[in-house]
Amino acid sequence: MKKFIPKINTLMTYKTQFIAITIFLSFCSAVKASDLGDDINIKPTNCNNQQISLIPPLPNEISEVIFREHMKDNAPYIHQLRTVSTYWSLYLPQFIPSLPTIRPRILTDEFLSLFTNLTSLDLTQQKGNINNSLSELTKITELNLSLNSTVTDDVLMTLPKLSSLNLWRNSTVTNDVLTIIPKLNSLTLKENIRINGDGLVQHTTLTSLNLCANKRIQNKHLEVLTDLTDLNLDENSCIDHSSVSKLTNLTKLSLDKNSSISWRALINLTKLTSLNLSQNSMIKDEHLRLHTNLTYLNLSLNCYITDNGVRALPRLTTLILHWNNNITDNLIDELVENGVQVRSNR
């Protein structure tokens, strides 16, 4: 039975997952047509293409759950769900023929068109051409197009509520789309080679930006994004302290494997509460003392920060020390006694 249970949350235990699925199945089995409302007008058909009127439409929250769990490549779970739940045993036989194949990950227009109320959608590595149905999902606010090679600029321009966009290694979305789509709040350009700064500077309302291993965005493009509160510069060699130091609203900064951001960039960042210095050699003890508001610090594989630097952070609540032998056991014990959550693989 375990193989049928999807990973609802990687932090959940299998026991907790089983309880959650059981509750969900119970709800689905007990739900009545009068309880469902008209949030989604899904009208499945039988093999003769005749509408099945006995099956009520799904409420939005249930349709999102089905879609989300299916997208985790767990079709066996859906088949098992059909046999367990009375409600789904009526609905899924009509629904399963439109399910995409499992490998490669192919999503069809027919399948996606059933979920017109989706607000969050992950299309990572999807191979199917779903541009027609995606353009009808006008309620989408969060869209993940990582490693996606099918969704085009034209489709994105039809999503008026889009506020969060992930273009990690995306090969089809061009720089032009950022000059036309509405203002974004969150944008991921990790390892993206299609988008340059001309499109980025249009989105001055951005509060979250991921430029991990990005080689297209330069200092002159970043420094104008002064509303940023969350910035990821992991493995980034194009951005230096001259632009980062101007982003005084930053509360979260990640510099994993970053060798271009010096301590000078941090001087003005007095609002920082989260800092990732994993595999970072540019920041030393004396520089941390300027950031007493830090509550989260990642020092994994960091051999430059010592006990002295950590002791200067009175508000610290979480310390990550994977593969770090520079911080002593005595300090770790002291921190734990004071309620600090220390994660280490020692």
Tokens of 319: 């310390």
- Beta-bridge partner residues of 254: 232, 276
pLDDT value of residue 198: 87
- For the chain, give the mean pLDDT: 78
pLDDT value of residue 336: 97
26-30, 98-102, 170-174, 340-344: the lowest-pLDDT one = 98-102
Task: Give the mean pLDDT of 314-331.
Answer: 96
Residue-wise pLDDT tens digits, 135-145: 988 999 999 99
pLDDT value of residue 176: 87
Report the share of the chain in percent with pLDDT over 90.
53
Residue-wise pLDDT tens digits, 18-62: 444 444 444 444 433 333 333 333 343 434 444 434 444 445 555
- Cα–Cα distance between 4 and 15 in angstroms, integer? 13
Question: What are the chain's domains?
Answer: 1-99 (no CATH), 107-175 (no CATH), 183-272 (3.80.10.10)
C-alpha dist (Å) from residue 293 to 97, 203, 309, 315, 316: 54, 28, 13, 6, 8
CA 24 vs. chain centroid, Å, equals: 24
pLDDT value of residue 327: 97
Reading phi first (left if > 0) and then psi (alpha if -120 to 50, else beta), residue 108 is in beta
* Runs of H (alpha helix) within the chain: 14-30, 33-36, 60-70, 75-84, 86-95, 109-112, 131-134, 153-156, 197-200, 219-222, 241-244, 285-288, 307-311, 329-337
The answer to whether the predicted template modeling score (pTM) of the entire model surpasses 0.75 is no
Give the model's confidence band at 116: pLDDT under 50 very low, under 70 low, under 90 confident, else very high: confident
Residue-wise pLDDT tens digits, 229-250: 999 999 999 999 999 999 999 9
> What's 143's DSSP letter?
E
Residue-wise pLDDT tens digits, 242-275: 999 999 999 999 999 999 999 999 999 999 999 9
5-14, 154-163, 312-321: the lowest-pLDDT one = 5-14
Residue-wise pLDDT tens digits, 63-115: 555 555 555 544 444 444 443 344 444 444 444 434 333 333 566 777 777 77
pLDDT value of residue 64: 53
pLDDT value of residue 271: 97
Report the share of the chain in percent with pLDDT over 70.
69
Preceding omega of 104 cis (within 30 degrees of 0): yes
Task: Give the mean pLDDT of 8-17.
Answer: 43
56 vs 228: which has the higher pLDDT: 228
Closest C-alpha to 218, from 243, 193, 194, 199:
243
Report, in this order, helix, strand and coil percent for the chain, each rounded to 5.
30, 10, 60
- Cα–Cα distance between 309 and 326 in angstroms, integer? 11
